[in-house]
């Protein structure tokens, strides 16, 4: 009798390259959210709104913590100071709260009268994608000395 292994592989440890890949994914989301803001009061289709919401929650729920872990594990002398890591953490906390509020507000706007509270939704979208981009720039500034290749794809 052949017995199949039930071992569940663990993902490889996060690396600086993982962080770079996360930044690409985050930039794509920011660009998509900027397009949503530009097309208000029209919202994306329900399936697209679900995908956007899931992406916001994935990024705020996993990418942010992973970035802090990667940066905190860098070798001494290259690692950001505790104050720098704390500043990044505070940015991530704020961005995560903005992301959660944004998802709720996006879904509250489904089926409402076009134009109702569009200013509020536009502001929330911009707060989130501006905050995300700000945090990306901060993390990239921390990595700049280590990076033999550009952090942002051209």
Is residue 154 assigned to a domain? no
**CA 75 to CA 80: how far, in whole Å?**
10
**CA 6 to CA 58: how far, in whole Å?**
27
**CA 51 to CA 56: how far, in whole Å?**
9
**CA 79 to CA 98: how far, in whole Å?**
28
Q: What band does 110 get if pLDDT is binned at 50, 70 and 90?
A: confident
Cα dihedral sign, 84-90-93-96: negative
Q: What is the number of domains present in the chain? A: 1
6: exposed, middle or buried (Cβ count in 10 Å: 0-12, 13-18, 19+): exposed
Q: What band does 86 get if pLDDT is binned at 50, 70 and 90?
A: very high
| Domain housing 121 | 16-143
pLDDT value at position 11? 53
**CA 73 to CA 65: how far, in whole Å?**
12
Is residue 152 assigned to a domain? no
Minimal CA–CA distance to 95: which of 29, 17, 1?
29
pLDDT value at position 3? 52
Is residue 7 assigned to a domain? no
Minimal CA–CA distance to 18: which of 111, 151, 135?
151
Is residue 60 assigned to a domain? yes
Q: What band does 76 get if pLDDT is binned at 50, 70 and 90?
A: confident
Is residue 41 assigned to a domain? yes
Is 13 or 100 the better-scoring residue by pLDDT? 100
Is residue 49 assigned to a domain? yes
Is residue 74 assigned to a domain? yes
């Amino acid at each position: 009798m052949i017995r199949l292994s039930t071992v569940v592989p663990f993902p490889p440890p996060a690396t600086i390259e993982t962080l770079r890949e996360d930044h690409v994914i985050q930039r794509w989301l920011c660009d998509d959210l900027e397009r949503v803001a530009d097309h208000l009061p029209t919202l994306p289709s329900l399936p697209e709104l679900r995908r956007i919401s899931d992406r916001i929650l994935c990024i705020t729920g996993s990418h942010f913590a992973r970035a802090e872990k990667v940066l905190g594990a860098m070798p001494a002398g290259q690692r950001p100071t505790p104050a720098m890591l704390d500043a990044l953490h505070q940015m991530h906390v704020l961005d995560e709260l903005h992301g959660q509020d944004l998802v709720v507000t996006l879904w509250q706007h489904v089926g409402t009268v076009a134009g109702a509270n569009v200013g509020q939704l536009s502001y929330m979208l911009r707060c989130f994608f501006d905050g995300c981009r700000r945090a990306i720039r901060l993390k990239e500034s921390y990595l700049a000395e280590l990076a033999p290749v550009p952090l942002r794809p051209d």
